[in-house]
Structure 1
Amino acid sequence: MGKFYKLFSTVFLASAVHLAFAQQIKLSKDVEHALTLVDTAQIKADITYLADDKLKGRAPGTKGFQMAVDYVIEQLKALDVKPAGENNTWLQQVKLRKAFTKDVVLTLTGQPDLKAGADYIIYPNPELPKIRLNASLAFAGYGISEPSLGYDDYDGLDVKGKIVLVMRGAPDKFSSSVAAHTMNTTQILKVAAEHGAVGVIMASTDSTSRLPNTSRGIFSVMDKDGSVAVSRIYYSKQVGIFGAIGYKLFNLLLLNNGKSIPSISAQLKTGQPASFSLPVSADVSYSSFYQDIISYNVVGKIEGSDSELKKTYIVHSAHLDHLGIGTPVKGDSIYNGAHDNASGVASVLSIAKIYQNIKVKPKRSMLLVLLTGEELGDLGSGYFAKHPTVPAGSMVADVNTDMPTIIAPLLSITALGAEHSSMMNQVNEAAGYLGLSVEPDPEPKQARFTRSDQYSFVLQGIPAIHVKYGSKTADGKNNLNDMVAVWRAKYYHKPQDDINGIFDFGAGKKYAQLNFLIGYLIAQDPQKPVWNTGDIFEVK
């Protein structure tokens, strides 16, 4: 951990904990009473239904996912939420494209007989079915260009018309959310395109890792005009190649140029770029073919009370999908997704329950959005954030709930992304009201800020947060992270994540109350959330 992050963490923790207990908000008796009506039995019932075997893991495009859609719509109707999808319905159609490759060939100067799948992979192109490209290579470090943060892998490097070779990572001085953003493939592809590159190849620095398996297809979202709307493997027609090479080949390319993976890795970690052109050309050809699947986002609305501010929206989001049926683990092949993310959906429904019992609604309106395709790369949220079913520019904040991990009492939190905007104020106020302390990200290496749906809103310039557990425990050991690590190893993305696992429904109630309060406080504020001045996400 770098000095910058240590300093950031210390300052953030001290100020956040102080504010969380110093700023006591005052709520009307109406709102105070409504908060108490969050029902742990209903949270359990919602999770139980959504994680039932009969929904078969809620994979997008399946009958099980449709059952989940029908369930949440009926719940929202009963909670007096109004439809806010396309054409006055509850739904927004999302066209998912599953893309595959065939006839893939990559040759590099001086490296004969490269084997697809072992030495390299090429991701499918969701828009262009045939690609043939010959270009020289350039090593562009992490593929990051952030001069305002004092780091730019592209400084002095000409990559126009070239394929850039990139390592996954970020300098130690970057905070966890900044690192997660800059090393995200969406951002890496975008930066490469802005500098004129025609391809990106990710290089493995782990001698024990295997290249990704693309044989089952890679998903993107297609726009109505047939172009790519959202993808984690595609940015533009200009960047025709996105692939990866293994450790052995990458190491060989570096050694041939008098460099090594350990030395370059160490240099980049200190914040010193190590970019250079390679005397190597790549010849790439491949074809892509597709399967299209129709899925849906569910969108509901609670109208605000102010004649003007009600035209703007706070979004409460959670993904409805999970992994469907997959490789059996201990004889079970249904990936039920009880924690991930039936619990998050149950939390949003609990927020709707609170609003049902508030007579005077907040000034701004609320959108409750249950999303498809999160497990495929935040695809449903990416499409909704880019093509909302409400007027463009009317969404002012997103409060996302994804796998809150309700396995122990909730005593402290970390609000991923809050440090980037004025939403930190509402987080502190809401946490203080509920007696929760606020901590920095306890697991910065997990890159959690960019691994869920809030990131899609951030990419569209909308301040967003994702509240997760902190480290505090009732016994004072404050090692909840250790407990979560054990839980994660047994349950995360496994069939064992069903209703028979570990749950603390009281923690689920507190999560719902907290996220409601954050959204409610933002909705009551005449000033919409803004990015911090000079922040990496500030819309220039």
Structure 2
Amino acid sequence: MLPIRRLLACTALICATALGPAASAQTDNAAGSGKDWWSHVRFLADDRLEGRNTGSESYLQAARYVAEQFKRAGALPAGSEGYLQPVKFQSRVLDEGRSSLTLMRGGTFEALAIGDDAVIGVRNGIAPNLEAPLVFAGYGLTVPENNYDDLAGLDLQGKIAVVLSGGPAAIPGALRSHYGSVAERWKFLKQAGAVGLITVQNPRIMDIPWERSKLLRFFPSMVLAESALQDAPDLVLTVGMNPASMDKLLAGSGVTFAQILAAADTEKPLPKFAIPAVLKAQVSVKSDTLTSANVAAMLPGSDPKLKNEYIVLSAHLDHLGIGEPIGGDRIYNGAMDNAAGVATLIDVAAGMRAQNLKLKRSVVFLAVCGEEKGLLGSKFFANRPTMRPLVANFNMDMFLPIHPLTRLTALGLEESNLAQPLRESAGQVGVTVISDPEPNRNSFVRSDQYSFIRTGVPALAFKFGYEKGSAEEKLQKAWLTTRYHAPSDDINQPVDLEAAAKFNRIIEGLLVRVANQSERPEWNAASFFKRFALTAPGGTPNPAASSRTGANAP
């Protein structure tokens, strides 16, 4: 637990022993060999930093390091509180000994094992006791723009909705992911009268095998302490179901999980039906409060008018910390997820200084906390910006430089005119920009660019791309299966430094183009997300978005 005064006091205190050898002066700029980039990854993902869990002492040590690197690159504190900007959280841990899930059918009782059969989420609301019937609601999606509604005709009043993650291919990927987020999905389920949500993933597109993903439940969950920034606090029961245990829920319905998956895999409508069972849930949670910090630095623009517009380069600094051992290792280092992204922030900032680049717009380098807890640090910054208007966001998260870079996936590519400067920058180094090849993985809403999108800021996020069926695809899928959210995502894994350096050049080139162009970034006219640039969630003019009311719009 880190009080605010301590975070503020330590902003300028960077001890030499904490910095280590990776803090040496830059010898390569962003167009270099990747060695300096890798030195930052090595420091941030070292065992000494214990996985950089939000709110921990090791996270604070990492934040100090990043602040010092931004300072050496000539970037100023981006706000009155200094480089380290405090964020308050409530931490929650499920008390499994006092929690249970039980299926009741005609006087019989069947316990669902927490961990083996299901996990109980504690990021949203909490009901100590809940007893309600179950309804399978397909994908549980309502997408008015596509005249699509899984809930039409379903009786969900007082019931728990059971849904399959993902959605039909007829709905554009970004829109599908947006409406499939818990906050958006719950709005419509709540209107239909539902009292809880059970989600099951399609095992064919799961990033992490259940036997490993179930271990993640032991890490603390968090919500922002400010209630106005909490998603779905009235969703009082969320459960993630093991696909292998789904037929326990469906028993007696006449429908098997294999039949549901077959419909999903062939793009046929999913069945919707009442499940002849009642779920009884008892949930006990241990709560605490803590403070962590975003790290924010700024390079002021040079143009008298455009310098008051801000482009945000973001990456999450936090990872999972110390958890259940896998192969005898308990430190979840987070090298690719996401020391790599933070290292790119540092490398781009240092490269700009080395080249003495003068950009017309101002640039904010933002390393956020709480991403692994639900994009919380970025949500706080996007909704409570220390400067405005924010006109664009470029987010680096687990871009995976584990093979040569020939294709670059851009999440949000179809939504704004940021696509053109990105293609120009990537084209200069022979890289082709592609759309998300697997939208049902919901990557569009799973990292910090989504926080900016929800406040109206045009944004892109990046992953190394691949062709379907290629060796690169197999390599990435193997990485997800074995290293994603595991202790093996450490500094002892193969990394392509040349590919990482090429990626950094693309990001630097994109930044230069957007910062120096005369017009602001804009949502495409047909983009669904354009609406968020007009109003904040409460219906008032959005303070963060790139509105047309002037460079210093309130």
TM-score tier after normalising by the smaller chain length: 0.7 to 0.9
Structure 2: which amino acid aligns with 1:454? Q
Q: Which amino acid aligns with 1:49?
A: F
Name the residue aligned to 2:186. Answer: 189
Structure 1 residues without counterparts, runs of 5 or longer: 1-33
Instruction: Tell me which moved more, 287-296 or 315-324.
Output: 287-296
Distance 1:378 1:184 in 2: 12
Offset at residue 298 of structure 1 (A): 0.5
Q: Distance in 1 between matches of 2:238 and 2:466?
A: 38
Question: Counterparts of 1:116 and 1:86 in 2: how far apart (Å)?
Answer: 50
Measured after TM superposition, the shift of residue 197 of structure 1 is 2.6
> 8 Å contact 2:101–2:279 — kept in the other structure?
no
Would the aligned equivalents of 1:85 and 1:298 in 2 still touch at CA under 8 Å? no
Aligned with residue 404 of structure 2, among 405, 409, 416: 409
Q: Counterparts of 1:209 and 1:492 in 2: how far apart (Å)? A: 13
The equivalent residue for 2:22 is none
**CA distance, structure 2, for counterparts of residue 244 and residue 409 of structure 1:** 36
- The equivalent of 1:457 in structure 2 is 452
The letter for the 1-side match of 2:378 is S
Deviations 1:306-328 (A, max 9, x none): 33332222111111122323344
Partners of 2:128 and 2:339 in 1: CA distance? 40
1:113 aligns with 2:112: no
C-alpha RMSD of matched pairs (Å) = 3.4
Task: Give the drift of 1:376.
Answer: 3.0
Distance 2:202 2:493 in 1: 36
Deviation at residue 486 of structure 1 after TM alignment: 4.4
Q: Confirm whether residue 539 of structure 1 aligns to residue 531 of structure 2.
A: yes
Structure 2 counterpart SS, 1:314: strand
- The answer on 1:367 being equivalent to 2:364 is yes
Q: 2:223 aligns with which of 214, 221, 224?
A: 221
| Structure 1 partner of 2:163 | 166
Q: TM-score, normalised by structure 2?
A: 0.78
Stretch moving more, 208-217 or 513-522: 208-217
Q: 1:375 to 1:111 in 2, by over 3 A?
A: farther
String of CA shifts for 1:108-159, please: whole Å, max 9, x gaps.
Answer: 453632314256554336665x544454443321111113224211223353
Find the counterpart in structure 1 of residue 516 from structure 2. Answer: 524
Structure 1 pair 173–39 and aligned structure 2 pair: CA distance change class (3 A): same
Contact map agreement 2:299 2:364 (CA 8 A) in 1? yes
**Any idea what SS the aligned residue of 1:115 has?**
strand
* Mapping for residues 231-242 of structure 1, pairs under 5 Å: 235-237=232-234, 239-242=235-238
CA spacing shift, 1:255–1:136, aligned 2, 3 Å = closer
Deviation of the 1:370 alpha carbon = 0.5
Residue deviations 1:405-460 (CA, integer Å, cap 9, x gap)? 22333222121221222221121111122221223334555433333222222233
Distance 1:463 1:423 in 2: 8
Structure 2: distance between partners of 1:209 and 1:435 = 38
Distance 1:447 1:342 in 2: 22
Aligned to 2:23: none
Relative to 1, partners in 2 of residues 1:305 and 1:415: Cα closer, same or farther, differing over 3 Å? same
Q: Deviations over 1:260-315 (max 9, x none)?
A: 43444444563535334556555544333213332211011112223333222211
Contact 1:126 1:228 in 2 (8 A): no
- Displacement, 1:493? 3.5
Cα deviation, residue 81, structure 1 = 0.5
- Using the TM superposition, give the Cα deviation of residue 488 of structure 1 relative to its aligned residue in structure 2, in angstroms: 4.8
Separation in 2, partners of 1:74, 1:436:
32
Question: 1:25 matched to which residue of 2?
Answer: none
Q: Deviations over 1:378-417 (max 9, x none)?
A: 23223322333334xx222211111222233322212122
Map 1:302-381 to 2 at 5 A.
Answer: 302-357=299-354, 359=356, 361-381=358-378
d(CA) in 1 for partners of 2:99, 2:322: 29
- Alignment partner of 1:76 out of 49, 61, 70: 70
Q: CA contact under 8 A between 1:137 and 1:165: conserved in structure 2?
A: yes
Classify 1:307/1:205 alpha carbon distance in 2 versus 1 (closer, same or farther; 3 Å).
closer
Q: From the superposition, tell whether residues 152 and 360 of structure 1 become closer, same or farther in structure 2 (CA, over 3 Å).
A: same
Match of 1:52 among 46, 50, 61: 46
Report the 3-state secondary structure (helix = DSSP H, G, I; strand = E; otherwise coil) of the residue aligned with 1:114: strand
Deviations 1:190-227 (A, max 9, x none): 43234443222225776995794686255122234xx2
Q: Per the alignment, do residues 246 and 332 of structure 1 end up closer, same or farther by CA in structure 2, a change over 3 Å counting?
A: closer
- Deviation, 1:165, is 2.2
Contact residue 52 and residue 318 of structure 2 kept, 8 A: yes
What are the ranges of 5 or more consecutive residues in structure 2 without an aligned counterpart?
1-27, 533-554
1:244 is displaced (CA, Å) by 4.2
Question: Aligned match of 1:124 in 122, 125, 131?
Answer: 122
Closer, same or farther: CA 67–122 of 1 in aligned 2, 3 Å: closer
- Residue identity (%): 33
Identify which of 430, 437, 440 aligns with 1:435: 430
- Take 1:479 and 1:264, find their aligned partners in 2: how far apart are those partners? 30
Paired letter, 2:121: Y
- Alpha-carbon distance change, 534 to 145 in structure 1, aligned in 2, over 3 angstroms: farther
Q: How much does 1:508 deviate? A: 1.8
The alpha-carbon deviation at position 67 of structure 1 amounts to 1.4
1:483 aligned residue: 475
Normalised to the residue count of structure 1, the TM-score between the two structures is: 0.80
Paired residue type of 1:374: E
Which whole-Å CA distance do the structure 2 matches of 1:494 and 1:123 have between them? Answer: 20
**Does the C-alpha gap of structure 1 residues 271 and 365 become closer, same or farther in structure 2, counting only changes over 3 Å?**
farther
Paired with 1:217 and 1:493, the residues of 2 have a C-alpha distance of: 11
Task: Describe the shift of the 1:117–1:291 C-alpha distance in structure 2 as closer, same or farther (beyond 3 A).
Answer: farther
Kindly indicate whether the alpha-carbon contact (under 8 Å) linking 2:33 and 2:497 is maintained by their aligned counterparts in 1.
no
Would the aligned equivalents of 1:140 and 1:153 in 2 still touch at CA under 8 Å? yes
Q: Is the 8 A contact 1:55 1:65 kept in 2?
A: yes
| 158 and 428 in structure 1: CA distance in 2 versus 1, 3 angstrom threshold | same
Name the counterpart of 1:505. 497
Whether the 8 Å contact between 1:94 and 1:380 is mirrored in structure 2 is no
Q: Evaluate the alpha carbon distance shift between residue 311 and residue 266 of structure 1 in structure 2; reply closer, same or farther with a 3 A threshold.
A: same
Q: 1:462 to 1:192 in 2, by over 3 A?
A: farther
Task: Number of aligned residue pairs: give it.
Answer: 495
Describe the shift of the 1:333–1:98 C-alpha distance in structure 2 as closer, same or farther (beyond 3 A). same
Relative to 1, partners in 2 of residues 1:44 and 1:160: Cα closer, same or farther, differing over 3 Å? same
What is the match of residue 393 of structure 2?
398
* Partner Cα separation in structure 1 for residue 484 and residue 223 of structure 2: 25
1:91 aligns with 2:85: yes
| Equivalent of residue 421 in structure 2, options 418, 426, 431 | 426
Kept after mapping to 1: 8 A contact 2:224/2:376: no
Deviations 1:460-481 (A, max 9, x none): 3322211221238xxxx96322
SS in 1 for 2:285: strand
CA contact (8 A) 1:230 1:383 kept: no
CA distance 1:383–1:158, change in 2 (3 Å): farther
3-state SS of paired residue (1:420): coil
Q: Aligned pair in 2 of structure 1 residues 413, 360: CA closer, same or farther (>3 Å)?
A: closer
